[in-house]
C-alpha cells in the first residue's frame, strides 16, 4: 500500500521541513518490510480566494486531483477522533490487508478542510483538543506514519 501525505501549504526551508522529511524518509524505509510501497509528501499551494469557504473549496479540488484512484482518505481535522498510535497502526494495517492500494492522509490549509471532503474521508483524526501550527501538524503526521510502520514491523521505536 502506498502512503501519501497531502498538505495544503508549502514548507519553507528550515528545521520543520527537515524534520518532516526525515520522518517521511524513515517511514519509507521501515514501511517496505510491512507492505508499504512508498511514503510520499505532496505539497499544494494555499488558495488565494477571499472567502474562507471558497478557499476550502479550491483546496479540496486540488487535494482530490492528487488522490490516487481508490485511495482511502484519512483527514487530519480538529473535529476528528483521537486514536492511539497502536489503533492507527491497526487501522492502516487492516486497510493494507484488505487490498487497499493507497492511503491519502490529508492536512488542510489555515481554514481547515472543506466539509464535504472531511465527511467523505474514511477516517477523520485529531491530534487532540489543542490547536497546533500547520508545520507541527505536518511533522506530527509524518512521525505517526513512521511510528505506524515501526509498530507493524515490531520495531522497538514505539514503547507502551
User: If one looks up domain 2-153 in CATH, what number appears?
Assistant: 3.40.1280.10
Is residue 93 pLDDT above 90, yes or no?
yes
- What are the pLDDT digits (tens) for 15-65? 999 999 999 999 999 999 999 999 999 999 999 999 999 999 999 999 999
Per-residue pLDDT, 90 = 97
Q: Taking the domains of the chain in order of start, what are their residue ranges?
A: 2-153
Q: How many CB atoms lie within 10 A of CB 61?
A: 13
Query: Grid coordinates standing for 29?
Result: 524505509
pTM for the structure as a whole: 0.93
User: How would residue 132 be classed by pLDDT, with cut points 50, 70 and 90?
Assistant: confident
Cα–Cα distances in Å, from 43 out to 8, 66, 102, 106, 128?
6, 10, 17, 10, 23
Please, which pLDDT band fits residue 2 given cuts at 50, 70 and 90?
very high
Amino acid at each position: 500500500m502506498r502512503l501519501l501525505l497531502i498538505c495544503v501549504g508549502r514548507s519553507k526551508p528550515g528545521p520543520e521541513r527537515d524534520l518532516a522529511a526525515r520522518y517521511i524518509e524513515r517511514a519509507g524505509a521501515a514501511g517496505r518490510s510491512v507492505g508499504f510501497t512508498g511514503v510520499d509528501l505532496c505539497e499544494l499551494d494555499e488558495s488565494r480566494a477571499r472567502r474562507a469557504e471558497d478557499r476550502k473549496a479550491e483546496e479540496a479540488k486540488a487535494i482530490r486531483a492528487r488522490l490516487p484512484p481508490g485511495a482511502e482518505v484519512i483527514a487530519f481535522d480538529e473535529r476528528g477522533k483521537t486514536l492511539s498510535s497502536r489503533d492507527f497502526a491497526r487501522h492502516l494495517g487492516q486497510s493494507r490487508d484488505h487490498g487497499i492500494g493507497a492511503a491519502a492522509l490529508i492536512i488542510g490549509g489555515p481554514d481547515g478542510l472543506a466539509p464535504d471532503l472531511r465527511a467523505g474521508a474514511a477516517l477523520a483524526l485529531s491530534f487532540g483538543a489543542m490547536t497546533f501550527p500547520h508545520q507541527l501538524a505536518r511533522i506530527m503526521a509524518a512521525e505517526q506514519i513512521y511510528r505506524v510502520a515501526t509498530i507493524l514491523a515490531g520495531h522497538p521505536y514505539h514503547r507502551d
